[in-house]
Every structure is written in structure tokens, then in C-alpha cells.
A and B are shown apart, each in its own frame.
Chain A
Amino acid sequence: MTTHRLAARDLTLGYEDRIVVRDLDLEVPAGRVTVVVGPNACGKSTLLRSLGRLLKPVSGSVLLDGAALRDLPTREIARRIGVLPQSPVPPEGITVADLVARGRQPYQRWWQQWSDEDEDVVADAMRRTDVVELADRYVDELSGGQRQRVWIAMALAQGTGILLLDEPTTFLDIAHQVEVLDLVRELNVTRERTVVAVLHDLNQACRYADHLIAMRDGSIVAQGAPAEIVTADLVRDVFGLACVVIPCPVTGAPMVVPGQPREAG
């Protein structure tokens, strides 16, 4: 898999009249896992959507291999960047295998609707996300966690060098959370994929990120290797939470333990 470079220059993002992100610069480390953290509504999804050309910048630009996204055909982008939005909506009444197969859309033409490669990639994506048994089920009838894995399978089937995932672990139980994040890691290690994920859980972020980006109010407060930037001060700054940071007993990555809980009763 060829690695692609994704960067943001002077990026200002917003909706209608309100600006959410102002003058942001970012270099996404190629071939690495980048995790974005920050409090609710700080603009993580907004940033991720613009990196995946789902949201047009108010000003500034997102560069893919040096070219502005707005100058590239969207289909061309779809072969290099896969995006899993925060709350995707499937076509009504679609089955799991169908939905995963839709990930091949950027490679198909009207007269070229299914190839051996499509078949292989879809099969591989379904196996990796553990949704093979669900193949003929309707997506509408799945549990939140099953559905999330199906969406991830669809994004994988797109076969892109860059994957942007907005909270891919919401709705998942802890075992599946770890499974998905391990999968993301594995894709990154064995296939040199560049991943940018928004995660809610700070400890998971520290555990899986090569590069951590902490955001607050639409700006990047700190970024770098988790071990270098995650401190009690940073967590207080970004989340307004008093905590202790200790090394994780398993991985040695920083682990955030919130301060004294309120006494019960």
C-alpha cells in the first residue's frame, strides 16, 4: 500500500455563520496512527470531516500528496482516503455483505460492477472485522456494536492508504473496542496505513496512538508521542479534570487516573 501525505494549511472551518476551527495547521504523520482527543464539541469531528473532504473549509486547504482536496475528483480521493463518519446511515433494508461491498464503489463502473479483486477485498474486510457470520443479516437489525464493525468493514473494503475514523469504538463493549483498535494497529503495521482516529477514551488513545493530538475549542493544544505530551497539567488544561498520570502496567504508555471520586452518600 502506497503511503499518502495528508496535511492542513491555515484551515478555518465552520457551519453557516459560526466558526469552529480557526487557522489550524497540521501534518498527519504518514504511516502512523494519529489519535485526536478533546472534550465534546471541541471540533474533532469537524476537523476529521474536512480532512476527508466531507466539509468544505471556510478558508485554507487540506492537502493530499501536496494537492488541495478541492482540486481532486472525489472518486480519486475515495481511492486514497477512507472515512467512517461519526453516525453513518445505511440504505434502508440493506444486508451486511451488500453494505461492505459498497466500499468498492470507487473502483467500480457502470459496466464493471464486480471484479475478483472486489470479491477478495470484501471477503478479507469481513473476516478481519469478524462479520462473516452476519453476511446475510439486515443491517437495520444488528446491535450497535455489530453495526459498527460492519461500517468498519466497509471502510476497509475501500482499500485506502489513509483511514479517518470518527469514534470507531462507540457502541462497542470493551472486548470489541480492543479488538477494533488492535485491528487498526495491525492495518497500520502490516500494511503501512495512515490512520487518524477520534477516540473518547484517553487511555486507549495513549495506548494506540503513535501521535496524539489534544484539541480544545477548535485549536490544537498539544501534539506528539503520548509519552511525551500526556501530563496531569495537559489533562487539566484540555478536559478540566484533576488526575494522576501513571505508566500503564501493561504497555508503559501514560495512563490517566482521575482524581479522588466524590464520597458515596
Chain B
Amino acid sequence: MSHRPYGHVLIRRPRFSFLVHRRSAVVASVLAVLLAAVFLLGLCVGVRFIPPGDVLRVLFGADESIVVETLRLPRTTVGLLVGLAFGIAGALIQTVARNPLASPDVIGVSHGAAAAVVFGLVFGFGGPTATPLTAIAGGSVAAFLVYVLAWRRGLNAQRFVLIGVGISVALAAVTNLLLTKADITLAQQAKVWMSGSLNGRGWSQGEPLTWVLLALVPAIVWAARAARSAGFDDDTAIALGVRLGRIRLGLVVVGVLLASVATGAAGPVDFVALVAPQVARRLARTPQVPLVCSALLGALIVVSADIGARMLISNAELPVGVLTAAVGGPYLLWMLTRSRAGGAS
């Protein structure tokens, strides 16, 4: 009988060896196929349906199509990237907080980013390059506030979530205040952004998001393995030679950056970061959230929700955030009612 970790396949070459969780790999493959299909569908649907065959021909270089290339492709790509980012961000922050409720959209990161972006829009520095930066600044400040306020000889998961929710509410109030002060057209623009919309998102949002994601790839690869140890108590982790404090900080920083830029690009698309990690974990049946599955599932949710947003009502578009909230809200309630005394489940 084998004593290698349960359910893992060993991939070994002379210089390296990797353990791959079999079920996670299967789930990730299935999600990737689904995602590709939904992505393609996202290019097909809109005011006018374009058959998949035509879309593929456009993608692979044949005749130009304005609709696919300048509107739907960038928009769907932004949706995909935003979903990936939220899926990873949620997984990392939930892991560190040891609480399935502690996702960036619940604990104030997204709201911090949103408040900063609205501030930027209202005071006239809301350009495509400035927005990701203001979003990161806002998200980081919010996360820092929550961290400092929740810290009392270690991080108490329950206090962390409660303080995060408090900060979220406060930041939402700040955002509303900014909106009432703002010029009416700006406010209207900001409001659409606030509800999380992919309508009109293009390469100018996609590009900074892509760069940030690419820059974070090494950090994400590191996080995927480092997150394994975050489930131990401090003493046991240190005994195993893991610098838990550093790992926690690293995971939170990566998570906050991802959630913030994603919010900057698409607005606070609520509940994706909350739902994706936990569903991915249940699908893959792993002790910690499987990062790749969570990322793919996040992308799948956002791209599908965006298609739904385009199709549900005939002559207008719903913001994608409304759809994710419609699914995520009940999920959150369900989580809250079944969690033991509001603590970590």
C-alpha cells in the first residue's frame, strides 16, 4: 500500500517531483472545457446571434467582424480575467482567514477598491491606467484596516469577518456620499460601474488586468503550495518549519491585489470570490481550496453571468454583478444559516 498523500498522482523526473491531486485535475479539466465553451458562446450571443462557426473563423484570422473583435472578444476576455482573479483572491483570503465567509467582497476589499475608483471618477482621475491603481490603493487600505482592527494576539476568524462586514458597510456609505456629491453624468457612469458590469469593457480594462495577472503568476504558483500550511495552528506550522506569519501575509497581499484590480476592471462583481472557492473545494474534495479549480470556476461564473446579463431582458443589459448577486446572495444566506455559531465551518 502507498503512503503518499491520499488521492494524489506522483509525477517524477530526476530533478523534480510533483504531487497532483487526481480529482482536482479532473475537475479543473472539465471546468476548462466548459469555460472554453462558454467563452465561445459569449462571443456568439448579443443583440445579434453569430453562429459559433463564424466566430471561430473570425478568431482564427478569416474575415473581420467588428462585433466579435472589437466588442465581444475584449468584453468576454475581461470577464474571463476578472473571474480568474476573483476565484483566486477568494480562495487565498478564505484560506488565510480559515473562514469560508471571508472573501474579498464580504470583508471590504472590493468595497474599498470601489470607493477609491468612484472617488477617482468623481474627482477626474478615472482613466484606464489610473483606475487599476486607485482600485489597488483602495482595496489595500480597506484590507489593512480590517487586518489591524481584527488583530488581537493573532487573527480571530470570526472577528475578521465581522469587522470586514462593518468596514464594507462604512465604505458603501462613503461611496454613496461621493455619488450624491458628484456631477449627475459622472454619478450615472459610476453607478453602472458600481453594479459590476462588463458592458463596454474592452482592451483598455483588459490590458492592465492582464499585466497584473501575468506579474502575479509566480506569486500565484507559490501561493498554491504555500496555502497548504495555512490550515494548521501557528505552533504546529512553525514546528514544521513553515513561516506562517509570512505565508499568511503573502497570501493576503496576493489576494487583495487580485481582488482590487479585478474590481477596478469590472466593478464589484459580488459573490464570485465568495462562491467559487467553496464550490470548487466541494467538487474537488480537497482539504484546502484547489486554486486552479477555483480560478476556472470563477471565470466560468463571470462569463456565464455576462451571457445571462445580455440575454435575460431583450432590449437592455443587466449588469453582470446583479446576476452573480442573485445566485450568490442565497448561497451566502445558506452558508450563514448552516455555519456553527457563525465561526469557521
B334 located at the interface, meaning its Cβ lies under 8 Å from any Cβ of chain A in the complex: no
Contact with A along B1-37 (1 / 0, CB 8 A): 1111110001010011111000000000000000000
B329 located at the interface, meaning its Cβ lies under 8 Å from any Cβ of chain A in the complex: no
Kindly specify which of A27-35, A108-116, A192-200, A206-214 makes contact with the partner chain: A108-116
Determine whether the beta carbon of A92 is less than 8 Å from that of B240. Answer: no
Whole-angstrom distance between the alpha carbons of A50 and B296 in the complex? Answer: 43
Whole-angstrom distance between the alpha carbons of A89 and B236 in the complex? Answer: 7
5 additional contacts (CB under 8 A) given A84-B239, A88-B233, A97-B5: A52-B239, A54-B235, A90-B231, A92-B98, A110-B225
Closest to A89 in B: B233
A95 located at the interface, meaning its Cβ lies under 8 Å from any Cβ of chain B in the complex: yes
Determine whether the beta carbon of A105 is less than 8 Å from that of B242. Answer: yes
Number of B interface residues at 8 Å Cβ cutoff, please give it: 37
Partner of A97, one of B6, B17, B98, B241: B6
Closest to B286 in A: A93
A103 located at the interface, meaning its Cβ lies under 8 Å from any Cβ of chain B in the complex: yes
- CB-defined A-B contacts under 8 Å, sample of 26: A54-B234, A54-B239, A74-B242, A75-B241, A76-B241, A81-B239, A83-B239, A87-B233, A91-B228, A91-B287, A92-B98, A92-B344, A94-B287, A95-B6, A97-B4, A98-B5, A101-B5, A102-B232, A105-B241, A110-B221, A111-B16, A113-B18, A113-B225, A118-B4, A119-B3, A119-B4
Whole-angstrom distance between the alpha carbons of A87 and B242 in the complex? Answer: 18
B331 located at the interface, meaning its Cβ lies under 8 Å from any Cβ of chain A in the complex: no
Determine whether the beta carbon of A100 is less than 8 Å from that of B287. Answer: no
Contact with A along B240-261 (1 / 0, CB 8 A): 1111000000000000000000
Assuming the contacts A89-B232, A114-B10, asked whether A74 and B3 have C-beta atoms less than 8 A apart, the reply is: no
Residues on the A chain within 8 Å of B4, using CB = 97, 101, 114, 118-119, 122
Determine whether the beta carbon of A122 is less than 8 Å from that of B235. Answer: no
Assuming the contacts A113-B19, A115-B17, asked whether A135 and B6 have C-beta atoms less than 8 A apart, the reply is: yes
B134 located at the interface, meaning its Cβ lies under 8 Å from any Cβ of chain A in the complex: no
A225 located at the interface, meaning its Cβ lies under 8 Å from any Cβ of chain B in the complex: no
Q: How far is the CB of A161 from chain B (nearest CB, A)?
A: 15
Determine whether the beta carbon of B17 is less than 8 Å from that of A114. Answer: yes
Closest to A118 in B: B4
B168 located at the interface, meaning its Cβ lies under 8 Å from any Cβ of chain A in the complex: no
Q: How far is the CB of A17 from chain B (nearest CB, A)?
A: 12
Determine whether the beta carbon of B240 is less than 8 Å from that of A78. Answer: yes
Residues on the B chain within 8 Å of A229, using CB = none
Determine whether the beta carbon of A136 is less than 8 Å from that of B6. Answer: yes
Whole-angstrom distance between the alpha carbons of A201 and B113 in the complex? Answer: 57
Whole-angstrom distance between the alpha carbons of A75 and B247 in the complex? Answer: 14
Q: Which of A98-151 contact B (CB under 8 A)?
A: 98, 100-103, 105-106, 110-115, 118-119, 122-123, 126, 132, 135-136
Number of A interface residues at 8 Å Cβ cutoff, please give it: 49
Residues on the B chain within 8 Å of A82, using CB = 239
Closest 10 CB pairs of A and B: A91-B231, A78-B241, A75-B241, A89-B233, A83-B239, A106-B241, A85-B235, A111-B16, A93-B287, A94-B287
A158 located at the interface, meaning its Cβ lies under 8 Å from any Cβ of chain B in the complex: yes
Residues on the A chain within 8 Å of B225, using CB = 110, 113
With most chain A CB atoms within 10 A of its CB, the pick from B231, B235, B239 is B239
Whole-angstrom distance between the alpha carbons of A93 and B49 in the complex? Answer: 45
Whole-angstrom distance between the alpha carbons of A53 and B241 in the complex? Answer: 10
Q: How far is the CB of A83 from chain B (nearest CB, A)?
A: 4
Partner of A112, one of B17, B221, B242: B17
Residues on the A chain within 8 Å of B98, using CB = 92
A49 located at the interface, meaning its Cβ lies under 8 Å from any Cβ of chain B in the complex: yes
Determine whether the beta carbon of B6 is less than 8 Å from that of A98. Answer: yes
Q: Which of A53-89 contact B (CB under 8 A)?
A: 53-54, 74-79, 81-85, 87-89
B123 located at the interface, meaning its Cβ lies under 8 Å from any Cβ of chain A in the complex: no
Whole-angstrom distance between the alpha carbons of A74 and B238 in the complex? Answer: 7
Whole-angstrom distance between the alpha carbons of A88 and B221 in the complex? Answer: 28
B151 located at the interface, meaning its Cβ lies under 8 Å from any Cβ of chain A in the complex: no
Residues on the B chain within 8 Å of A118, using CB = 4
Determine whether the beta carbon of A74 is less than 8 Å from that of B235. Answer: no
Partner of B238, one of A54, A110, A113, A115: A54
Whole-angstrom distance between the alpha carbons of A53 and B3 in the complex? Answer: 29
Whole-angstrom distance between the alpha carbons of A234 and B17 in the complex? Answer: 55
Whole-angstrom distance between the alpha carbons of A174 and B335 in the complex? Answer: 41
Partner of A85, one of B19, B233, B288: B233
Whole-angstrom distance between the alpha carbons of A118 and B238 in the complex? Answer: 20
